[in-house]
Structure 1
Amino acid sequence: MSMLLGGFDIGGTKCAAVLGVAEDGRVNIAEKRSFPTPETAEATIGWFCEAMADMQRVAGGAGPLQAIGISCGGPLDSRRGLVLSPPNLPGWDRIDVVTPLKERFGVPVALQNDANACALAEWRWGAGRGASDVVFLTFGTGMGAGLILNGKLYSGANDMAGEVGHMRLEPDGPVGYGKAGSFEGFCSGGGIARLGRLMAEAHIRGGGRTAFCRGLEQLDAVTAKTIFEAAAAGDALALKVVDAVGTRLGRGLAVLVDLLNPERIVIGSIYARQEALLRPIVMEALASEALPISLQACEIVPSGLGESVGDAASLSVALQALE
């Protein structure tokens, strides 16, 4: 049986409205609208309502809308449908995003943080299919986790389960999630760039050269992308940065393997794009840190939904709302 689902992804700079059809263990995007995030929550919700109504008109024969899912960065209260002042959404203080959509469209509506939503999507339609214990790691702008345990989403006492980026992996290091040496500090787009700048500055001041930063005046232009491009071309310092990142990623995974004993860990974004460079380093560190019997039961795989995981995420929350 096919179901028409609506999705609303709320970001600090951009929002997206998605209409998708879920059937036979897969989801197909029927319509999508994107828009820069308006200045107020009220305007953002209003924009989504108009976009969704327009997409329904365009989709026409796809059938009646069954449910709407909302994906948003935390903190939030999924049980009451409240967004609780995320750092990337100033002014969104205890904003009820669920009730206005229920009233406008007359269907079940649910809210989840973005990592949880991505975990649900990968579990239903991506690399987590068929497993009952799955961890999804975002590994993009930040490092967060969504946890599927015993076939159910686990969000914790107040929706804060899975904030693995805050774990400290080293006494010092690049700052992520407000903490030097954190998992997010080493394993996120911004963290990798900061680590690359620190290593490049020391290297250049010592008389060395590197392809991803030709001089101290170029430090601000260093990004995770330029580092990985240089590493793929064989640049020695870039390879050292990638080694540092992959080693910490392996150590972070070992904590999750030992603590949760999952069947599968699905890693998105940067890992999915850079698996060839990262996987050998990650697996070596993981094998040296994790309990062997737990590691034998766990697969480490890239996102199966790839760049479309964000679109599928909010739709997976809509499907959860029906259940």
Structure 2
Amino acid sequence: MTLLAGIDIGGTKCAVVLGRAANGKVELLGKRMYPTPPPAEAVASFISQLDDLLRELGAAAPDAIGISCGSPLDSKRGLILSPPNLPDWDRLDVVGPLRERYGVPVGLQNDANACALAEWQWGAGQGTEHMVFLTFGTGMGAGLILNGRLYAGKNDMAGEVGHVRLEDDGPMGYGKAGSFEGFCSGGGIANLARSMALERLRAGGEPPSFCANEAELDGVTAKTVGLAAQAGDALALEVYGIVGAKLGKGLAMLVDILNPERIVIGSIYGRQQAILEPIVLEVLRKEALPITADNCEIVPAALGESVGDLASLSVAMNEIHMKGN
């Protein structure tokens, strides 16, 4: 049994968790969630919350600690580098004080990498040597498991697939029209649906079920469009048809460049798999080399809503694995 501690740092909330890992599974033992503190108070608050959890469990220290936070960061030096949702966390060392306090391995990874590790260790990526995890939620990012270990790149920026431009024009993502994130993210789907609905409404066509008039455009979300698509709304299905085609195109690029055995896709893909999967696979087979596409499974993420808690724990487990290699 391995006792793991995890810290998930968000723009508005932080979570400190304890878990027990054994036999390829993990069990959440305790959790503290609270508003994100100012940077000057952050590390002390993590220690206080973790001490409380350890005390309740009757343990002195975990075997390792993992920290998950948005990019940019410096995982080698344990520094958070003013991510957009934490602009005042400038070069904040969150690893050193925890390592000193508990005397155990401590790791820091961005949230996409952390989720990739969680799915690889305990979810849909178990048993693979070469896996790609795609977030496909609020944004589009990737975590890469290559040759049986996390690949983060020179400065922790590997996997920023959302920034890749798939088309000359299209919804905005990463400040770039036609980007992978522009087409394949919650915000991108909503923007695409709004523009297509507006065009139909102004042309005098039948309003889609998710938007009866222009006044309702601001309320359009990926969820409302997804529900409409599941109910058979023609425009919603057209939106998701475009999304599926662009997702397939993006996957073909990843399959041919990285040659993974499995691509695990989170959030929206699982909720809309019945609609997206046939389109995605058709485009993937058309665009990718057959010898690479035929050797890669495309599957939805398995950890669901628990992935946020398990992601930081998986960073801790990864530190143990790295120390053992």
Which residue of structure 1 lines up, in the alignment, with residue 6 of structure 2? 7
Question: Which residue matches 1:299?
Answer: 297
Counterpart among 283, 288, 293 of residue 286 in structure 2: 288
1:103 Cα deviation after fit = 2.6
1:111-122 paired onto structure 2 within 5 Å:
111-122=108-119
Task: Say whether the 8 Å CA contact 2:131–2:263 is kept in structure 1.
Answer: yes
Structure 1 window deviating more from structure 2 (50-59 vs 176-185): it is 50-59
CA distance in 2, matches of 1:150, 1:103: 31
For 1:183, the aligned partner's letter is: F
Letter in 2 for 1:103: E
Q: Is this contact kept in 2: 1:135–1:264, CA < 8 A? A: yes
Separation in 2, partners of 1:48, 1:216: 46
Q: Which runs of 5+ in 2 are unaligned?
A: none
SS at match of 2:314: helix
Residue 87 of structure 1: which of 84, 88, 100 is its match? 84
Q: Displacement, 1:274?
A: 1.6
Aligned to 2:216: 218
Per-residue CA deviations over 1:65-89 (Å, capped at 9, x if unaligned) read 1111001111111000011111111
User: Considering only aligned residues, what root-mean-square deviation do their CA atoms show, in Å?
Assistant: 1.2
List runs of 5+ in structure 1 lacking aligned partners: none
User: For residue 273 of structure 1, what is the aligned residue in structure 2?
Assistant: 271
Contact 2:67 2:316 in 1 (8 A): yes
Superposition deviation, residue 51 in structure 1: 1.4
SS of residue matched to 1:287: helix
Deviations 1:78-124 (A, max 9, x none): 00001111111111111111112123323221101111111111111
Compute the TM-score of the two structures, normalised by the length of structure 1: 0.96
Specify which of 51, 54, 57 is matched with residue 53 of structure 1. Answer: 51
Q: 1:139 aligns with which of 136, 140, 164?
A: 136
Aligned AA (1:261)? N
1:108 aligns with 2:105: yes
Number of residue pairs matched by the alignment? 320
| TM, length-normalised to structure 2 | 0.96
In 1, Cα distance between equivalents of 2:60 and 2:21: 12
Counterpart pick for 1:313 among 307, 311, 314 = 311
Instruction: Judge conservation of contact 2:61–2:102 (CA < 8 Å) in 1.
Output: no
Shift of 1:63: 7.3
Could you say which residue in structure 2 is the equivalent of 1:189? 186
SS in 1 for 2:63: strand
* 8 Å contact kept, 1:133–1:263: yes
Task: After superposing the two structures, state which structure 1 stretch, 306-315 or 225-234, moved more.
Answer: 306-315
Write the distance in 2 (CA, Å) between the matches of 1:168 and 1:285.
17
- Alignment partner, residue 68 of structure 1: 65
8 Å CA contact 1:212, 1:222 repeated in 2: yes
Task: Verify the 8 A CA contact 2:19 2:27 in the aligned structure 1.
Answer: yes
Any conservation in 2 of the 1:4–1:63 contact (CA below 8 Å)? no
- Name 1:29's counterpart in structure 2: 28
Runs of 4 or more consecutive aligned structure 1 residues displaced over 4 Å after TM superposition: none
